[in-house]
Amino acid sequence: MIDCRFKPIEKWPSKPTPGYMRKSSPFKAGWQQTLDLLERELNHLSAKEITVEGFFRLSDVRNDGWPKSNARPTQPGVILSFNTKRGRMVMPCDSFDDWEGNLRAIALTLERLRSVERYGIVTEQQEQYTGWLRLPEASAVDEATECARRLADLASVSHLPSQILASRELFERVAAEALRRNHSDTGENNVDGLQLALSARKRIRELKGWK
């Protein structure tokens, strides 16, 4: 059996399909056939850490990570995600009005994508899967931008956060000015500002890998 875990959905990764636009599932295959197809395609990709997110309640999922036979998600959308050598892939589907149909649609999509390789128009990089690779998390980028903005304010400079983060030299100059302006030796004795500047400088160095 496929090594997979089901869990309640955390966040839908795209714009949801309105209910009135969803169609009845056209698939005649049973649940086990869907699982067999999914297992075959994921094995081809050497997929690891496979999860299926759905609009389940916690009580809908058994202790082994599989949905109970009477599970009835509140919405039909599902998200299949898994790790590959190229990164984590995320494949959502809510085109149909039942969650098992949406999962089968994802499995069939994987099958069709693999069939592209038969004609030799992709390389070993498997470009046909690129559209489903998860983008880098924005949180670290947002945090660095906020820290750079804070340094610019404390230093009373007009440089944009993007400029500060693009140049190690400029970053160090702005950080030094922020520390100077808020150090007790300047007479301003802004303890809070000094701590904010120190924290922002440290965090940017960590996020950018600047030692």
Whether residue 144 is found in the same domain as residue 127: no
Whether residue 73 is found in the same domain as residue 172: no
Structural contact between residues 56 and 73, judged by C-beta atoms closer than 8 angstroms: yes
* Confidence at residue 162, expressed as pLDDT on a 0 to 100 scale: 87
Q: State how many domains the chain has.
A: 2
Whether residue 181 is found in the same domain as residue 84: no
Q: Give the mean model confidence (pLDDT) for residues 56-68.
A: 91
Token code pair at residue 69: 């036979």
Contacts of 20 (CB under 8 A, 6+ apart): none
Whether residue 146 is found in the same domain as residue 180: yes
Quote the domain boundaries for residue 40.
4-132
Q: Give the mean model confidence (pLDDT) for residues 158-180.
A: 92
Structural contact between residues 67 and 35, judged by C-beta atoms closer than 8 angstroms: no
Whether residue 85 is found in the same domain as residue 123: yes
pLDDT per residue over 66-119, tens digit each? 999 888 899 999 999 999 887 888 999 999 999 999 999 999 999 988 887 666
Whether residue 108 is found in the same domain as residue 195: no
Last residue of a domain, one of 111, 132, 153: 132
Whether residue 92 is found in the same domain as residue 127: yes
Last residue of a domain, one of 77, 102, 132: 132
Whether residue 166 is found in the same domain as residue 201: yes
Token code pair at residue 59: 């009580």
- pTM for this entry: 0.61
